Structure 1
Amino acid sequence: MNARIRIVVALLAMGGLAAVSPDSVVAYGGPGSVISGIGTLLAAIAAVLAALFGFIWFPLKRLYAKLTENSTEEEEVA
């Protein structure tokens, strides 16, 4: 576990150094690349929201169906 933490810290440090490096601000973002970047960002956000929806909604839906099924069985017995 200790080696994994060291690797993660090293990767974060390298990423931080690359982000503040003066060479990275010299790049030009043309209109096509900016629009592609925005589209990629929106697609990533939509994928995260869809995953959250799937992991939250469908188990709740199944639980609701199970609870209502149990309540109707109790009403039929009475």
Structure 2
Amino acid sequence: MTNVRKVAISIIFMVVSCDAFSYMGPGGGLTAIGVLIALVGFIFFTALGFVWYPIKTFYKKIRKQSLTPNNTDEMQLKDAEDEGAREQAKNDSV
């Protein structure tokens, strides 16, 4: 038998199948439902991890860059704060 013929026969058996009238007890049914929920959760959280990790590292990188005083505006603001604090200390000592 060739592979094509095996596949064709398998498809025919799947399409023309009849009812089995079988019973699945509560133990097996609940186990199957639990496994299905766990599998869906695993796939969801794996996909979420692949999406979330790059976003988190990008956010940390941006935040780290914004906290470093590389910008002249931030340096001028810091200098103005220092100057204001010096004037306040000078006025308090007089």
Bin for the TM-score computed over the shorter chain: 0.5 to 0.7
Instruction: Say whether residues 1:64 and 2:48 are aligned partners.
Output: no
TM-superposed deviation, 1:31: 1.1
Greater length-normalized contact order (CA 8 Å, ≥ 6 residues apart): 1
Question: Given the alignment, which residue of 50, 54, 57 partners 2:49?
Answer: 54
Query: CA 1:32–1:47 in structure 2 vs 1: closer, same or farther (change >3 Å)?
Result: same
Unmatched segments (≥5 aa) in structure 2? 73-94
Q: Calculate percent identity across the aligned residue pairs.
A: 29
TM-superposed deviation, 1:52: 1.7
Larger proportion of helix: 1
1:41: which partner in 2?
36
Query: CA 1:18–1:35 in structure 2 vs 1: closer, same or farther (change >3 Å)?
Result: same
Distance 1:66 1:42 in 2: 36
1:51-75 superposed Cα distances (whole Å, 9 cap, x missing partner): 02211111111000111122223xx
TM-superposed deviation, 1:15: 6.5
1:3: which partner in 2?
none
Amino acid at match of 1:21: S
TM-superposed deviation, 1:18: 2.8
Query: CA 1:50–1:70 in structure 2 vs 1: closer, same or farther (change >3 Å)?
Result: same
Distance 1:16 1:59 in 2: 47
Unmatched segments (≥5 aa) in structure 1? 1-6
Q: How many residues align?
A: 65
Question: Given the alignment, which residue of 4, 11, 29 partners 2:24?
Answer: 29
Query: CA 1:19–1:42 in structure 2 vs 1: closer, same or farther (change >3 Å)?
Result: farther
2:80: which partner in 1?
none
Structure of higher CA gyration radius? 2
